[in-house]
Amino acid sequence: MSWLGRAGARLLPAGRRDWAEALWAEAHEVPAGWQRLAWRAGGVRLIAKEAQMARRAGIQVLFTVAAGAAAWAAWPEPAVSLSHGAAVQGGVIITIALLAGLPLLARWLLGPPGSRAARWARAGFYAAILAIMPASAAVGMFVGTVPRGGIDRHTFGVITQGSPAPGSVSGGPDWGGEIIILLITACYLAVILALTARRAGVTPATLAIGGCAGLIVGLATYAVFPLGVDKTATSPWLRGSASDPLVALAWVALLGAPVVAGALAARRRPEAAPGGLGAASGDPLAQGLAAGLVSGGAGALTATALGTGTTALMLKSAWMRGLLYHGQHLTASALYGRELYASQRVALYGLLCVAFPVIGAIIGGFSSAMARTTGPATGGRPPGREPVPDQPTAGGWSAWR
């Protein structure tokens, strides 16, 4: 048993390993038999709790570093005007506060994450939001910087349909735009924290199915809109036709993924989990709605993070511009016009973030309702004939007749 104690001690931080080894060594002072076994079982439980605390501390450190890096990259430069700079700064601070504070409120109201799938879902949503922050700030800085003169100044006035002072820098949306972004962010965080909490009763299979379907939706949407949401030629590899194969693929993914996710979530549901709110964990309609909601939200965030990040890299990297417009001999003015046009259309990703979850929830709920009417959920057991109940014996029910 000594090798088991040493292996368990390695899971702890270096400062707590001596404590674990001493706890394990003191087991020899306990009488042999069940008492010594109970002592060691208690030691294993304490070591497991300590290791879990270390893992939580590591996650908190990782979040702090990632949030700090995202906030530093998104922080406006001193050249930005005072009003726009204050709006961007306020948006960064409130977003970090939401990311740090809402999980504590969700844990208090609904409990901790209910499964590994729930923790991965939260991590994915957090990573997408943190990635969008600096990319959106870089795009906003570019579209708010007015050229000092020349053909770029004329192009800026034509595309933006404005005449601000040459050389001025606004960067980012005003307070109205920041409030809308914060409301969308808060709604996303509240929904994903509620769905992944233990008491919500959403099964791990539902979260996994919805997340995978959302990635498919997001990648298909990003293939159509890699540089902002617009029908015109902001996408370098599209011909601008509504019958383009990529456009058809995006529509199939947007409408088909929630159908599949809702049906699978409804048919793979287990029995109602203890501690769940209402009948959420045992109702296929609730599981289908959750799967569709996760699918739409994950798809919208994936497309937004990839699209905003690609646009920001296009503005900063000549390699990315060469990759996007390979073989197209663009003048400097034409390239600036495409960059400016794409930067303006990045804000329209917010429409996807509102529309996709609603579409996913409606389709997922309808699909789960149809799956419920076509056949019973398997509950993790292969479909087939129900088991025949045991026949009563003479000493059972017949004895009471």
Least confident of 12-21, 73-82, 339-348: 12-21
Is the pLDDT at 157 greater than 70, yes or no?
A: no
Please indicate whether residue 59 or residue 312 has the higher confidence score (pLDDT): 312
Closest CA to 178 of 69, 95, 100, 112: 95
> Do 24 and 51 form a contact (C-beta atoms < 8 A)?
no
Please indicate whether residue 253 or residue 173 has the higher confidence score (pLDDT): 253
Mean of per-residue pLDDT scores for the chain: 77
Mean pLDDT of 354-359: 94
C-alpha distances (whole Å) from 36 to each of 19, 39, 40, 48, 143 are 18, 5, 6, 18, 70
Tell me the residue type at 27.
A
What pLDDT score does 44 carry? Answer: 62
What pLDDT score does 384 carry? Answer: 45
Distance in angstroms (rounded) separating the CA atoms of residues 244 and 281: 41
Domain map (residue ranges) of the chain: 1-63, 75-161+170-380
Distance in angstroms (rounded) separating the CA atoms of residues 154 and 147: 9
Three-state SS for 231? coil
Residue tagged 């294993």 (tokens): 44
Is the pLDDT at 275 greater than 60, yes or no?
A: no
> Do 171 and 112 form a contact (C-beta atoms < 8 A)?
no
C-alpha distances (whole Å) from 289 to each of 195, 210, 241, 292, 387 are 11, 10, 33, 5, 30
What pLDDT score does 212 carry? Answer: 93
Give the pLDDT band of residue 312 (cuts 50, 70, 90).
very high
Is the pLDDT at 84 greater than 90, yes or no?
A: no
Using CB atoms within 10 Å of the CB of residue 4, give its burial: 0 to 12 exposed, 13 to 18 middle, 19+ buried: exposed
Provide φ and ψ at 309, rounded to 5°. -65, -40
CB atoms within 10 A of CB 5: 18
C-alpha distances (whole Å) from 288 to each of 110, 183, 225, 371 are 20, 25, 28, 9
Mean pLDDT of 15-24: 58
C-alpha distances (whole Å) from 263 to each of 57, 266, 329, 352 are 38, 5, 48, 23
Which residues neighbour 368 within 8 Å (Cβ) at sequence distance 6 or greater? Answer: 262, 263, 265, 266, 284, 285, 287, 288, 289, 291
Is the pLDDT at 142 greater than 70, yes or no?
A: yes
Give the pLDDT band of residue 174 (cuts 50, 70, 90).
confident
Is the pLDDT at 400 greater than 50, yes or no?
A: no
Distance in angstroms (rounded) separating the CA atoms of residues 162 and 153: 11
Mean pLDDT of 371-380: 57
Distance in angstroms (rounded) separating the CA atoms of residues 55 and 52: 5
Please indicate whether residue 165 or residue 333 has the higher confidence score (pLDDT): 333
Give the pLDDT band of residue 26 (cuts 50, 70, 90).
low
